[in-house]
Amino acid sequence: MPSPPPSTPSLSLLLLLFTSSLIGASHGGGIAIYWGQNGNEGTLTSTCATGKYTYVNLAFLYKFGGGQTPQIDLAGHCTSGACTSISNDIRSCQNQGIKVMLSLGGGAGNYSLASQADARNVADYLWNNFLGGTSSSRPLGDAVLDGIDFDIELGSTNYWDDLARYLSDYSKQGKKVYLTAAPQCPYPDSHLGAALNTGLFDYVWVQFYNNPPCQYSSGDISKLTSSWSNWVASINTEKLFLGLPASTEAAGSGYVPPNVLTSQILPVIKMSAKYGGVMLWSKYYDDKNGYSDSIKSSV
């Protein structure tokens, strides 16, 4: 007798397989937050205790390089010389699995790198005062941060790649030094382009705001998603994050309503294996607007 013809998969099975493939292609992520620039945003301990955030960037070490004495300013919380009390806060966050980074730079400050030697000196300072090294005057006390965040928006565009290499080399001494960055969305970033090309950055949270050519605007997501795709294709990093203002007050432009983010943008960008989550500026504005509460289940 002839063999029976092979069975044809049912329509329901095909739909199930198709749906499963879509689910499998969508990647989950976390929320990164900047903390430190407003005294009314709560303590670092309370920030981490919310359970909302996977990464916290302490903002900012705003003065360094060129032979200057580095200075940290956690505005409203503490300034250089008086911040050692947050060591326990840092450890509390880390004990919950939250990575805590020191953010360099910011939109205001006095920072730059004058040479490769200057980059080496800054790397040594960061290692000894915030990471796994030793110093008699660690600004944040004896807690060991997880890494360094590059939010470089001012000054020279040179030698940031050297700083990244020198910091990365310290990972060879034991505990990994995580490197993160917050470039502007126009690609390549004018300050961090060379540094990002090293491929040494673990997490990159691109600022898709205050940059009209590559941000959300008036119901149009195309510029943002097109820019996202360009970053995904162009950069070698473990995870890429969508950086957004947490309220309309947090930036001059580029605010994305939570419902637009969760229903239109996230379903698109989460298809990338490099998708890491969402970065928000900042804890203070997130508190005021409840942005992370609105998006957390979708991130």
Backbone angles phi, psi at 186, to 5 degrees: -60, 125
- In whole numbers, what is the pLDDT of the chain averaged over residues? 92
Q: What is the pLDDT of residue 278?
A: 98
Is pLDDT at 82 greater than 50 in this prediction? yes
Q: Which residue has the higher pLDDT, 27 or 286?
A: 286
Q: What is the pLDDT of residue 4?
A: 40
Cβ–Cβ contacts within 10 Å for residue 275, how many? 22
- CB-based contacts of 43, cutoff 8 Å, min separation 6: 77, 86, 89
Separation of alpha carbons 286 and 289, rounded Å: 5
pLDDT score for 79: 73
Pairing of strands 203-207, 147-152: unpaired
The pLDDT of residue 25 is 63
The stretch 162-177 carries a mean pLDDT of 96
pLDDT at position 80 is 67
Structure tokens at 290: 């409840």
Q: pLDDT tens digits for 143-161?
A: 999 999 999 999 999 999 9
Residue 56: its pLDDT value, please?
98
For the chain, percent of residues with pLDDT exceeding 90: 88
pLDDT at 227 over 70: yes
Is 238 catalytic? The answer is no
Question: Virtual CA dihedral for 232, 236, 242, 244, nearest 10 degrees?
Answer: -120
- Nearest-CA neighbor of 255 among 205, 207, 209? 209
pTM of this structure: 0.91
